[in-house]
Amino acid sequence: MIGDQVYVIRNHSDILIADHRYPVPDTSYLAPTTCASVTTTVLMIPHASSSLVALIGPTAVGKTAISLHLAETFNGEVVSADSRQVYRGMDIGTAKATPEGQRRAPHHLLDLVNPDEPLTLAQYQRRAYAAIDDILCRGKLPLLVGGSGLYVRAVLEGWTIPRVPPNPALRAVLEKEAERRGEAALHRWLATLDPPAAEHIDPRNVRRVIRALEVCLTAGRPISELQAKRPPPYRILRIGLSMPREVVYRRIDERVERMMTHGLVDEVRGLVAKGYSFDLPAMSGLGYRQIGLYLRDEATLEEAVALIKRETRRFVRQQYTWFRLDDPAIRWFDASAPDCAKRVEGTVKEFLSTV
């Protein structure tokens, strides 16, 4: 039994969510299901003819520099689409805009919650739409900037977010299954239940895998099905920044070295001193998890730094599943080209002139 409900998982084609007192069986029997529906919400936004520029792409390609150039050129303000920059006190490891950068252009959706506080996708989406509308109401250009594909697409595509509240007891069961069978096994179960969701969720991101399973088991429908799309009434220009892989990898190495020089170890040590555990989702992010190994004497500092670089490269490869180079909706630019900023500026200028 899980809380007031019992989740009965059978080894055939259905999953029953019942009020009967059955023990939770082995979740290796998970299988596709169609059950009760779940209520979703659609946020309606004004300014149907207003312009929004999205600057997207993987980590370390230079989105911050281009976004500041565009903000200064077009009287814009930045709306962050980074799932880690929402946390207070996590500045260096998330490559958050510096105070100087924030003076050059106003930034929104930074430092929203403490590292031990949750921020759901639905909450982020509502805040993003509110920030965009506020910028438009003041006659400025909103720039949605970031590499968190889930956040970007939820805003640009107008996802309806399933209103399925967290179920701590069910999550605890799934977390134990992940510990017992491994992260990959949990992801394989998700792939059986909801192949589209599994395709876009990194198997190592256990928190998101568990959330997708939680929604499916609770609502009886795949999360990918419940996340219907109702595009917001904005006029959107999607600009993608990319680079040759070897250039991105070199920039990643340089970026990680800068983080170390700027005090990443002290930042992580300070978060731990404030009582933030490495079990928290916020503390599982790139940089924080690996420095945690060093602070717990589970790795040398050199090993931890090498891990950050390696895992960041892997993360970049994963980001391209969200931002595909063959997506016709995205205008891609080679950020390593000397004239990239000017070319992007020209594209934005042309876009705004056709309003």
- 152-187 pLDDT, tens digit per residue, is 999 999 988 777 778 888 988 998 988 898 989 899
At residue 343, the pLDDT reads 97
The domain that contains 16 carries what CATH number? 1.10.20.140
Element (H, E) at 193: helix 183-193
Q: Which domain holds residue 174?
A: 6-33+162-226
Element (H, E) at 267: helix 264-273
User: Do residue 94 and residue 170 come from a single domain?
Assistant: no
User: Do residue 258 and residue 281 come from a single domain?
Assistant: yes
| Cα 159 from Cα 66, distance rounded (Å) | 27
At residue 207, the pLDDT reads 85
pLDDT tens, residue by residue, 280-299: 999 999 999 999 999 999 99
User: Do residue 101 and residue 117 come from a single domain?
Assistant: yes
Any domain includes 196: yes
User: Do residue 298 and residue 350 come from a single domain?
Assistant: yes
Work out whether the CA dihedral 139, 121, 145, 266 comes out positive or negative. Answer: positive
Among residues 257, 204, 211, 241, the alpha carbon closest in space to that of 331 is found at: 241
Final residue in a domain of this structure, among 172, 204, 226: 226
With beta carbons less than 8 A apart as the criterion, state whether 183 and 190 touch.
no
User: Do residue 168 and residue 89 come from a single domain?
Assistant: no
User: Do residue 235 and residue 97 come from a single domain?
Assistant: yes
pTM of the predicted structure, to 2 decimals: 0.75
pLDDT tens, residue by residue, 290-332: 999 999 999 999 999 999 999 999 999 989 989 999 999 999 9
User: Do residue 246 and residue 221 come from a single domain?
Assistant: no
Please give the sequence-ordered ranges of beta strands (E in DSSP) within the chain, or none if there are none. Answer: 6-9, 15-18, 40-41, 50-56, 76-80, 107-108, 141-146, 161-162, 234-242, 330-334
β 141-146/330-334 pair status = unpaired
Per residue in 310-323, is it b (16+ CB within 10 Å) or e — as a string? Answer: ebbbebbebbeebb
Final residue in a domain of this structure, among 226, 252, 276: 226
- Token reading at 71: 């903000």
User: Do residue 207 and residue 261 come from a single domain?
Assistant: no
Q: Mean pLDDT, to the nearest integer, of 48-68?
A: 91
Which phi and psi angles does 175 have, rounded to 5°?
-65, -40
Tell me the DSSP string of 64-132.
Answer: HHHHHHHHHHHTEEEEE--SSTTBTT--TTTTPPPHHHHHHS-EES-S-B-TTS---HHHHHHHHHHHH
Cβ neighbours of residue 253 closer than 8 Å, sequence gap 6 or more = 309
How many domains, in total, are found in the chain?
A: 2
User: Do residue 232 and residue 219 come from a single domain?
Assistant: no
Final residue in a domain of this structure, among 211, 226, 241: 226
Any domain includes 154: yes
Any domain includes 40: no
